[in-house]
Amino acid sequence: MQIAIRSLLLISFSLCTLLPAKAQTPYEMKAAFILTLMKYVSFPEYAFETPTERIRIGILGKDPFGDQMDRVLENQQLNGRYWQIKRAKVANELWKCHIVFIAHSEKDNIAEILQYFRQYPTLTVGDGIPNFCENGGIFNFKSVESYRIEASIDAAKHIGITISAAILRHATDIVPCKVCE
């Protein structure tokens, strides 16, 4: 009897693992959002050394996108530049990235992380990180489940990045940067 029950449970377990995964996550849309953001910002000239230098996207912390972004951006171009994706656990491994997505997992060290990126023309995007813009981040999703964004014009100006008014119009909050001088 016990063998029969065990077998039944084991079969059920195996079947469960074969069922399709629950798919709807906000990160596919967030990824599309971040890629679109690139069209609404201008970098200072020195951000790119050559006209064909790749646009580097960094993902700092626990990567919520999986490999989809790599597959989407492979051999794709924006304004004549190919894309490159880098992942890291610490900020200084992403020092040459033009855009850095900072995962929610990094919320506890955010002041330190943003202090590092303020040295470079790097567009920082936070994933629901409290006080992100106050600490010098440029765009921040209001929460991990939300697509609403807050933005800091001061933080962008501080590193020579210009944000189009078209995107700023849709930001729920324009947050003053408290650490940008």
| DSSP structure string for 123-134 | EEEEES-TTTTT
Q: Is 167 a residue that touches another protein (CB under 8 A)? A: yes
Distances in Å between the Cα of 102 and the Cα atoms of 72, 93, 144, 147 are 20, 13, 11, 15
The residue (of 13 and 46) whose beta carbon lies closer to another protein is 13
Contact call for residue 84 and another protein (CB under 8 A): no
Are 31 and 101 contacting, i.e. CB atoms less than 8 angstroms apart?
Answer: no
> Is 127 in contact with 139 (CB distance < 8 Å)?
no
Among the candidate windows 48-56, 93-101, 153-161, 166-174, which touches another protein by CB under 8 A? 166-174
Report the residue number, 37 or 91, with the smaller CB distance to another protein: 37
For another protein, the closer CB: 53 or 70: 70
Q: Counting contacts by CB under 8 A, is residue 4 touching another protein?
A: no
DSSP label at 90? S
Residue from 48, 72, 96, 115 in contact with another protein (CB under 8 A): 72
Chain residues 40-69 in contact with another protein, contact rule CB under 8 A: 40, 68
| Distances 86 to 89, 100, 112, 179 between C-alpha atoms, Å | 10, 9, 20, 27
Q: Which of 62, 89, 170, 178 touches another protein (CB under 8 A)?
A: 170
89 contributes a contact to another protein by CB under 8 A: no
Cβ atoms < 10 Å from Cβ of 121: 18
Q: Which residues pair with 86 in a beta bridge?
A: 58
Of the pair 93, 173, the CB lying nearest another protein is at 173
Distance from C-alpha of 116 to C-alpha of 120, rounded to nearest angstrom: 8
> Interface residues with another protein (CB under 8 A)?
5-6, 9-10, 12-13, 16, 19-24, 26, 28-29, 31-33, 35-36, 39-40, 68, 71-72, 76, 146-149, 166-167, 169-170
